[in-house]
Chains A and B, each alone.
Chain A
Amino acid sequence: MEIEVQLTGSPIAEKISPPRLAAHGAWLEFRGAVRDEENGVKISGLEYEAYAEMAVREIRRLLEKLSALHPCLAAKVIHRIGIVPAGEAAIYVGIASRHRAEAIALLGEFMNGLKQAVPIWKRRALPFKSIEDDVRSLTFPGKIPETPHVISCKSLDEAMAEIRSHCQALPAVRAPLTAALGRVLREAVCAPSDIPDCDRSTRDGFAILSNGESETFFIVDKLHAADWKPRMLKSGEAVRIATGASLPCEGLRVVMQENVERNGDKIKILRREDSPNIRLRGEDVKAGATLVQTGARLDAGKLALLASAGRAQLLVSPQLRIVHFTTGDEIVPPEQTPKPGQVRDSNSILVRGLLEKFSCDLQQTHLPENFEPAKSQISSLKSQIENAYVLLVSGGASVGEKDFTRPLLEWLGFEIVFSQVNVRPGRPLIFGVNGNQIAFGLPGNPLAHFVCFHLFVAAALEKLTGGSPRQFGRGTLAVRLEDAPNPRETLWPARLAGAGLVPLKWSSSGDVTCLGEANTLIRVPANCGAIQAGAEVEFLAADF
């Protein structure tokens, strides 16, 4: 049986087409609507809640079980979550079968089974006529609910898309070449002239007419690399020329000095090479051609190219002002020997190193673990926080009692967009927005930092700076990846070497040794388990 299951926060469509199956004679539809009273009290709607991943699985499993008893061809189930106003459908079921009897039987048993085993709840009834107020209070920015919201657990792709949708490219600034490393070029730069600007010799040797028959030549001039001495050569004339020097006219070739016998002012050519040994004018790039595209992140090579094109001032992304808080009373500086229960702070230098690529003005501060003293310390950094484009908080992203990242961000005025991503490691990732500012709460251990940075923080920084989005590449596994099936998508630390991708030893997100080797992250789909050597996999470069 073909099965389609959806949980949705939006109204269910008025008309839903049956599946295109030639064999079905019956298409049975059921819509369960929210009544306008509950236990005798008038209501304006119901709020539904679901354990989403499991609810979808349970619905599917129930349908599969029932289709063995009542063979049907296809089923489509849509269940609303969130607030459903009275009168609207909370559930839709469509069943296709050859004859009506099995569809009707399956529908009845399905609805009974749903009400027993599928983890969906009517969370509360909304009092009559208050629904607009209720919706407003749930979405009013800045209002913090007394109990935490339903955790919205995003898939990796959803989380990336959500982050990008909340980041806008910052206005470009003018900066000199020397300050532009790591910034994103915000204008296309074209070649102002041909490169090379004239025909140049690639050898130390003698320039002669390329179509001449003569074997012996009279040396009429000598050209060094910096010389510019145009002249027409005649048959039987040669010019002594250095590597890189400009040729005196067109229609020439250069014979290497090793293939020439010299006698005073005369030379005899022993052998002519196949190549004319000349770099032609505009051979590298023609005037007007694009040298560096807009959106390119400027590395040393690109800066050298821009310098060679005479661009001393560039239109680039601004330097990123970033504030980074580390948290946790168990953290001691790297130079200190940790007491039992303590760990050395590796996240500060990790974040600093990862940000190096992006040209940042980074402010790092360690916060005490209790919320109140942390608040007073933050108050002294008010202006830095207000001016920052990005706020990063290491540790405290989970939901332990002392994990205060979420309340901290809310206190600073951030609205939490999501607080979980269905990836391993790095699941308790918090992403918040406050006007144009964004914030990340990164899970405490260094590997999760590494993964979350390359996946999510880098995606945000690329968008803020106007750079081109980072993409997953495809590569071949050099060695079998040993893993048990896991319900979450996994980013597995790996090393990309000549033979392909080598997964690194990693058993817990607390492991740190793989950080010394990892330059890529292999994307292992949920429930995938081990992957054979030689298989093609998706990976993200993590080499900075």
Chain B
Amino acid sequence: MRVLFFAQLKDVTGCDAVELALPSPLNREQFWAALLEKFPGLREHLGNVRLTRNWEYADAGTQFADADEVALIPPVSGG
């Protein structure tokens, strides 16, 4: 599974993307648990980061699979 980080989250993880070998499918809680284990620094951003799966915002029922591209979206500030 490919996981992308943007904006200030790059400073937290020290990279802009990782390839993670995770059991799949995962629900949102399982995904976060696996990610926080690797990047504990993300915990304080948990409250205001949205997840996307293959370029669409994930919702409570989204399942994340191995072939997916998942991104962590901190609050946006375009325009």
Chain A residues in the interface with B (C-beta under 8 A): 32, 48-51, 53-55, 57, 79, 90-91, 111, 114-123, 147-151, 398-400, 420, 427-428, 486-487
The contact sample of 29 A-B pairs, CB cut-off 8 A, is A54-B52, A54-B56, A54-B71, A57-B55, A91-B79, A111-B79, A114-B78, A115-B77, A115-B79, A117-B76, A119-B52, A119-B73, A120-B77, A121-B6, A121-B76, A121-B78, A147-B10, A147-B11, A150-B16, A151-B4, A151-B16, A399-B15, A399-B17, A399-B19, A420-B17, A427-B2, A487-B54, A487-B55, A487-B69
Chain B positions 1 through 44: 1 when the CB is less than 8 Å from some CB of chain A, otherwise 0: 01010110011001111110000000000000000000000000
A50 contacts B78, C-beta separation under 8 Å = yes
Least Cβ–Cβ distance between A281 and chain B, in angstroms:
64
Q: What is the CA–CA distance of A428 and B15 in the complex, to the nearest angstrom?
A: 14
Among B6, B18, B71, which residue has the most Cβ atoms of chain A within 10 A? B6
* Contacts A54-B55, A57-B55, A399-B17 given; does A116 touch B76 at CB 8 Å: yes
Let me know if A49 and B18 touch, CB within 8 A: no
The distance in angstroms between the C-alpha atoms of A91 and B79, with both chains bound, is 6
Report, nearest first, the 8 A-B pairs whose CB atoms are least far apart.
Answer: A120-B78, A121-B7, A54-B55, A122-B77, A398-B19, A91-B79, A151-B16, A119-B73
Binding site for A on B (CB under 8 A): 2, 4, 6-7, 10-11, 14-19, 52, 54-57, 67, 69, 71, 73-74, 76-79
Give the docked Cα–Cα distance between A50 and B16 (Å). 12
A121 engages B74 (CB within 8 Å): yes
A79 to B10, CA, bound (A): 22
Chain B neighbourhood of A115, CB < 8 A: 76-79
| A123 to B55 Cα, complex, angstroms | 20
Contacts of A57 in B (CB 8 A): 55-56
Q: How far is the CA of A151 from the CA of B4 in the complex (A)?
A: 9
Interface of A is mostly: mixed
8 A-B pairs besides A53-B55, A79-B78 with CB distance below 8 A are A48-B78, A49-B6, A57-B56, A114-B79, A119-B6, A120-B77, A121-B77, A398-B19
| Bound complex: CA A122 to CA B6 (Å) | 11
Q: Could you say which of A51, A57, A120, A149 has the most chain B C-beta atoms within 10 Å of its C-beta?
A: A51
Provide the residues of chain A in CB contact with B73, threshold 8 Å: 51, 119
A395 and B59 CA atoms in complex are apart in Å by 35
Taking the nearest CB of chain B, how far is it from the CB of A114, in angstroms? Answer: 5
What is the distance, in angstroms, from B19's C-beta to the closest C-beta of chain A? Answer: 5
- How far does the alpha carbon of A420 sit from the alpha carbon of B19 in the complex, in Å? 12
Given contacts A121-B7, A147-B14, A151-B17, contact A51 B79 (CB under 8 A): no
